[in-house]
Chain A
Amino acid sequence: SQTIHQWPATLVQPVGSPLSLECTVEGTSNPNLYWYRQAAGRGLQLLFYSVGIGQISSEVPQNLSASRPQDRQFILSSKKLLLSDSGFYLCAWTRTGGNYGYTFGSGTRLTVV
């Protein structure tokens, strides 16, 4: 069966510090991978998605970047965090093509102080 792992679960970082959130998927190959952010009282916002190794599409210009160094690994990064980067970050995957369900990770609560 397929599983998605996302860590850490919570993170408190000072303004200006770097960020690295990691997401891995097991039990499948060539998944589509996604990073979402959920701000309080708002719907999930797509940040990045990837349909293959080294391929990244950015949806929202921001202080963040993403990378996919391996087929089932997706990393969200920042060189210098801003207060506005605080939020709940979710990684998700889905199979390529068709109306497949999106499976979400358990999320990372990031607080920038």
Chain B
Amino acid sequence: KNQVEQSPQSLIILEGKNCTLQCNYTVSPFSNLRWYKQDTGRGPVSLTIMTFSENTKSNGRYTATLDADTKQSSLHITASQLSDSASYICVVDTGFQKLVFGTGTRLLVSP
């Protein structure tokens, strides 16, 4: 069964600190892995897209890594800001019009 598991489920950090979110997947076939940021009550917004051959991808203070051998990905947020408070969703694209979504990590950045 195709699954994307994320940890932790929720996280509270102080403003300015770094954090790392984890994603483990068992999805086949694999086309690419995406990280999205979703503010409450809004649609997800794309942060990064990584194909099988890419190990890391950055977007500003967001850096995603991918280990296709162990089927693990992480999203590292540097120097967190209050506006980073949101849910972060790991998504695996099978390449056949089907995305498999994780349930997300809810991040709260506290002042």
Contact = CB atoms under 8 A, between A and B. Distances in A.
A75 interface: no
A23 to B, nearest CB: 11
A51 interface: yes
Nearest to B50: A99
Interface residues of A, number: 25
Q: Is the interface of B mostly helix, strand, loop or mixed?
A: strand
Interface string B41-68: 1111110010100000000000000000
Given A49-B97, A51-B97, A99 B43 contact: no
Interface of B: 4, 31-32, 34, 41-46, 49, 51, 89, 93, 97-104
Contacts of B93: 99
A88 B41 CA distance: 8
Interface in A75-113: 88, 90, 92, 99, 101-107, 109
Given A99-B31, A99-B51, A107 B43 contact: yes
A44 B31 CA distance: 18
Contacts of B49: 99, 101
